[in-house]
Amino acid sequence: MQLRKENILIVDDDVNILELLQRHLQSWNYHVFKAISVKEAVTILRDTQIDLLITDLKMPEVDGFELIKFVSEHYPKLPKLVVTGYPSVQGSLKAIKSGVVDYLTKPFTKVELKSALDKTLVASEGKKAEHAKNITEDRTEAYGEIIGNSEKINDVIQIIERVKDNKATVFIKGESGTGKELVARAIHYQGKFSRAPFIAVNCGGIPENLLEAELFGYIKGAFTGAETNREGFFQAANGGTIFLDEIGNASLTVQSRLLRVLQEREVVRVGSTKAEKVDVRIIAATNSDLLEMIQKETFREDLYYRLTVVEINVAPLRERKDDISLLVDKFLFKYGVEYKDRFLKITPEALDVLNRYNWPGNIRELENIIQRAVIMCDKVVDVEHLPNHLKHTIAFSADALVPLKVVEKQYIEKVLRATGNNKTKAAEILQIDRKTIRQKLAD
């Protein structure tokens, strides 16, 4: 008896095979996602928690071998089952056998499919148990979507391993663009509560007068426009995880309500006096200095200590440059498949420029630069495909031998001049928020 549905992704350019697999899998109570290309598969993997991949090998444009390689590198815990119509391909399977539990040759029977499916899922459970007991110190693979083998990333992953299977409150600190939400998602989806909801809330992206109602819900007539009773994000996340990004932007009123949730494990909707119990793990994050905000009395000290039961510091990219090449490979595959229908390479010279840059926008900036480079190039990303500001900043930093903060400040000032002092436009170009611009200019 199956207690819950597993999410299975099937990839094949033959729609008849997809329909056959879907029919069989749904009869066994699995939840099925279909893709007719590697490009579609990568999109689904990026947006959905998948428990098993079933893929064909011979497909036009990007083939199944590239998909298996991508999954092995970026989703190492995801089990893989190959279905192939070419028996001669079995010899080639030896090269990827370590990453594929089993394979089926077309045509196959329903009984053969079920046997291979059960074998793959059982092997996967054993692999997960072993993985939980033994996290290697030298990580070259992905942990969820977190990629890197640097010491700082290993430190983050080790803390995730400690907290993922309990509901301790976690506080994630890091600059804009370092991947704080990825860490939060890894805590949720790599643990035993992964089937429960994960709700991400950007506290800085919701107007202050609406944030309270969005978080805790409201009753009919609580304010103008409240025409019905409505649950908030906390009720929606019940049983799972709520991720409060940019918690420093929450008003003192919202902070007071959050404190009650942490202390009493209950929420009260706006306009109501009735408390509702919630079972929610809270993960908060910010790039602000909350201790400084406490001194200025704009953040509650008692809430701060409630939020920081477990603290994770996500290092800026300039402090983990060993991970740049792995991140570049990830983004080259992602956007190469999306825009060019193939896996692209990068020249050593271009990679050297990326390694020497100091990344004020961190991983988000790196991803945007690779995305642009993929669009601009044909088959190989070279220095000429990188934005001029990156190359110019590298040259300035190397020649002038000035501190990084000075380089960043002067570059921000240059972008501001180019945008007519439009901080919103400058923030978009720099891939940082307006508050970070003000902080860096004030340093």
* Domains of the chain, CATH where assigned: 7-133 (3.40.50.2300), 142-313 (3.40.50.300), 318-442 (1.10.8.60)
Q: Are 291 and 299 in contact (CB under 8 A)?
A: no
The CA distance from 145 to 126, in Å, is: 22
Nearest to 384 by CA among 373, 397, 398: 373
**Model confidence pLDDT, tens digit, residues 41-84:** 888 887 778 889 999 888 877 778 888 888 887 787 788 888 87
How many residues make up the chain in this entry?
443
pLDDT of 196 higher than 50:
yes
Reported pTM: 0.67
- For residue 4, pLDDT over 60 is answered with no
Gap between the terminal Cα atoms of the chain: 61
Measure the CA–CA gap between 149 and 58, rounded to whole angstroms. Answer: 32
Could you tell me which residues are beta bridge partners of residue 380? Answer: 345
Question: 215-229, 289-303, 402-416: which has the highest mean pLDDT?
Answer: 289-303
Of the candidates 263, 277, 278, which has an alpha carbon nearest to the alpha carbon of residue 309? 263
pLDDT mean over 334-360: 87
Q: Is 158 in contact with 186 (CB distance < 8 Å)?
A: no
* CA separation for the pair 432, 359 (Å, rounded): 11
pLDDT: which is higher, 343 or 212: 212
pLDDT at position 395 is 56
Share of the chain above pLDDT 70, in %: 86
**DSSP secondary-structure letter at 344?**
-
The pLDDT of residue 127: 46
Q: CA-to-CA distance for 11 and 34, rounded, in angstroms?
A: 6
pLDDT at 88: 57
Query: Under a CB-based contact definition with an 8 Å cutoff, are residues 440 and 408 in contact?
Result: yes
* Confidence grade of residue 5 (pLDDT, cut at 50, 70, 90): low
How many helices (H) does the chain have, and how many strands (E)? 19, 16
Higher pLDDT, 73 or 183: 183
pLDDT at 125: 55
In angstroms, what is the C-alpha Rg of the chain?
24
Residue 234 has pLDDT above 90, yes or no: yes
Distance, CA of 199 to CA of 205 (rounded, Å): 15
Q: What is the pLDDT of residue 129?
A: 42
What value does the mean pLDDT take over residues 170-197? 92
Q: What is the pLDDT of residues 387-439, one digit of tens each?
A: 888 876 665 544 444 455 666 777 788 788 878 888 888 887 777 778 788 88
| Banded pLDDT at 306 (limits 50, 70, 90) | very high
Of the candidates 50, 70, 192, the one whose C-alpha atom is nearest the C-alpha of residue 132 is: 192
CB 265 within 8 A of CB 221: no
Q: What average pLDDT score do residues 179-205 get? A: 90
Instruction: Decide: 47 and 75 in contact? Cβ < 8 Å.
Output: no
pLDDT of residue 3: 43
Other beta carbons within 10 Å of 329 = 19
Three-state DSSP class for 321?
helix
Q: Is 422 helix (H, G, I), strand (E, B) or coil?
A: coil
Higher pLDDT, 204 or 93: 204
Q: How far apart are CA 161 and CA 136, in angstroms?
A: 12
Query: Between 99 and 8, where is the model more confident?
Result: 8
Counting residues of the chain whose pLDDT is more than 90, the rounded percentage is 40
Lowest mean pLDDT among 30-39, 350-359, 395-404, 410-419: 395-404
Q: What is the mean pLDDT of residues 100-105?
A: 72
pLDDT given for residue 174 in this prediction:
94
Give the pair of three-digit tokens for residue 223. Answer: 């304010």
Burial 276-311 (b: 16+ CB within 10 A, else e): bebebbbbbbbbbebeebbeeeebbeebbebbeebe
| DSSP reduced 3-state for 218 | strand
* CB-based burial label for 439 (10 Å; 0-12, 13-18, 19+): middle
H/E run at residue 259: helix 252-264
Contact 107, 116 (CB under 8 A): no
More confident residue, 440 or 188: 188
- CA 262 from centroid of its chain's CA atoms: 25
Q: What is the pLDDT of residues 131-164, one digit of tens each?
A: 433 433 333 344 657 888 899 999 999 999 999 9
| Mean pLDDT confidence for 342-369 | 90
Look at 419 and 371; give whichever has higher pLDDT.
Answer: 371
